[in-house]
Amino acid sequence: MTATPDGRGYTLAASDGGIFTFGDARFYGSLGSIHLAHPITAMTASPSGHGYWMVGRDGHIYAFGDAAVHGSPTTLKAAQPVIALSATATGSATGWLPPPERSWLSATPLPTASPPVTPTW
C-alpha cells in the first residue's frame, strides 16, 4: 500500500497483482489479469506520485505510470522472499529481504534499520 503525495488517497496492491485505488489515488495499471508465478509482496509509489512499482516474492519488478523500468534481478535465488520495496528520490526502486539476507540490489550487508540503497543497474 502506498499513499498519494498529498495524503488524500492510497493505492493497494493485492497478492495477485490487482490494484485498488481510494481517495485521489489514480489507477496506472495492474497485473490482475495475468497469472503470476509468484505473488506480489510489496509496492511503492514513484517520486512524482504518478506511477508505482510492485515486486513479486521472487524479486520481479513491475512498473506502471511514470515509474521507470530498470530491469528485475530475477536470476537471484534468495533464501527468503522479497518483503519490502522503497523508492529513491531519483526514481529507482530498492527491494528488501528479511535479515540476515542482503538487500538484493546491494553488495553490502544491510542492518535492519538502514535506509534504502540506490540501485546500480
Q: Report yes or no on 119 lying in a domain.
A: no
101, part of any domain:
no
pLDDT at 112: 35
Residue 114 lies in a domain: no
Give the total number of structural domains in the chain: 1
* Residue 74, domain extent: 2-96
30 lies in some domain: yes
pLDDT bin (cut points 50, 70, 90) of residue 94 is low
113 within a domain of the structure (yes/no): no
Domain membership flag for residue 65: yes
The torsion defined by the Cα of 40, 116, 89 and 27, in degrees rounded to 10, comes to 10
CA distance 112 to 121: 23
Note whether residue 118 is domain-resident. no
End-to-end CA distance of the chain: 25
Q: What is each CA distance from 38 to 5, 9, 46, 56, 115, in whole angstroms? A: 29, 27, 22, 6, 26
- Give percent above pLDDT 90 in the chain: 34
With respect to residue 107, please indicate whether it lies within any of the assigned structural domains: no
pLDDT band (50, 70, 90) for residue 30: very high
pLDDT mean across residues, the chain: 76
pLDDT at 36: 92
